[in-house]
Chains A and B, each alone.
Chain A
């Protein structure tokens, strides 16, 4: 995936912080970022943590100059973010990584948990480009549901009916962001059905620009197994290239 754009430190001004589901918040902020693609992420400076915190872009409006992320409360970084107020400044690195490589093919979008964030952005762009798509999401409980999908699974797995959905909708390509275990299963299913799948991965990051080699996964390339960084080579990979451990 080779979408290029220059990364830099940006300043954002908080427009709005909103609780959207159980322990889940959305932040919208103004920035001077001029381009960002679905699947790319930003890395926010949190004064109470050592490292920056990475978050997928959930929406970008180039006319209003706003960016949106959604996040689940986890620890100190997300606690800082949750307490931001309108008008506060944030400092973030962006745009980071390579996003989804959008194809003109009928798409299935799969988002589970807060993994739905980049998928919501992708859905918007697919719709703008009139690319047909069907969007499913999965959450552990009703309280955690983030809206936006055509079909939402609660409790079970987002993959429960996946093969039927693929067949009924004549799906040609799949895009997903979800916990590792879901992405792995999804990749296995897609490989079996010979449908290309692009997955957005998460790994703990330090530099988020490909320098420290802290966020490495293994991928197969030219009959070899090589290291790839989630932050720079990813976070979007082909399900067929990832070597699962």
Chain B
């Protein structure tokens, strides 16, 4: 496909851990399935990677009731981490990824530190090259506050995962915080090789109808994604970049080439595309081609050079 110039390497300079990406564009967790779901639309070998649906130790049925609510410029979801569980992932989903040579990050989620430790061990035993840790999950032992909202808890969580996992460790930060810098630093000090951000913002969708003589209300509380969160994501990536040395994978409302430039301007080293996949299932490939065409036309020899030119 001629996308070779988009090759990029994410590197933790301190430990030397690296993640090679064929392109800097990754399908975001929860929007790209487990393995080959998008193969009807694009050649998955032209992707940097996919981040799998968040995997928990046990299989989870997810939330009951309405799970989606569309808002201006965005989407609120409360899927509730429906997933097949790590055993079924390893048995049924992983062989497809391997056979089809699809690069991926295993996205993991848990309700206790022990859950994450076990998931990390299993990833290690199965030689999974990269994991992305979703820390926007309620910590059952600490009163169900998100792991990712307390720097001490996040440091501890990252450290414990690190002790059980030798591959490339990405910590995905929650934006529902006052102090993203402290969280990014905690993840780095705990041993993360890379930060990805942002996960969804908390949101409430409300619909009120007046039928006959009665108000009919419908509410959906969940995670907000899509283009309306892009300014928050840009802010967060900018803050994170100023506080850590490890690479940053940026996401939040990316839908166009210009969005990639905006995130590069605040220091993104790679990108994830989430909600936009629902509108254009070819977008991860299309953006890679647009990026390459831009680089060809303007004589950038590789992605690093382009990134440097924008971020300087």
Chain A residues close to B by CB (< 8 Å): 6-9, 45, 49-52, 93, 204-216, 218, 227, 245
Selected A-B contacts with CB under 8 Å, 16 pairs: A6-B40, A51-B75, A93-B281, A206-B68, A208-B278, A209-B40, A211-B32, A212-B30, A212-B278, A213-B53, A213-B82, A215-B67, A216-B62, A216-B67, A227-B61, A227-B82
Partner of A206, one of B62, B75, B227: B75
Contact: A212 with B79, CB < 8 Å? yes
Contact: A50 with B67, CB < 8 Å? no
Contact: B279 with A211, CB < 8 Å? no
Residues of B within 8 A of A245 (CB): 64
Contact: A9 with B280, CB < 8 Å? yes
Contact: A204 with B279, CB < 8 Å? no
Known: A212-B30, A213-B62. 16 other contacts (CB 8 A): A9-B41, A45-B280, A50-B75, A50-B226, A50-B279, A51-B70, A52-B279, A204-B66, A204-B68, A206-B77, A206-B275, A211-B31, A211-B32, A213-B67, A216-B82, A218-B64
How many angstroms from the CA of A29 to the CA of B31 in the assembled complex?
30
- Majority SS of interface residues in chain B? loop
How many angstroms from the CA of A40 to the CA of B82 in the assembled complex?
25
How many angstroms from the CA of A214 to the CA of B82 in the assembled complex?
10
Residues of B within 8 A of A206 (CB): 68, 75, 77, 275, 278
Contact: A51 with B278, CB < 8 Å? yes
B231 on interface, CB distance cutoff 8 Å: no
B74 on interface, CB distance cutoff 8 Å: yes
Partner of B70, one of A50, A216, A218: A50
Residues of B within 8 A of A208 (CB): 278
Closest to A226 in B: B61
Which B residues, 89 to 143, have Cβ-Cβ distances below 8 Å to chain A? Answer: none
How many angstroms from the CA of A227 to the CA of B62 in the assembled complex?
9
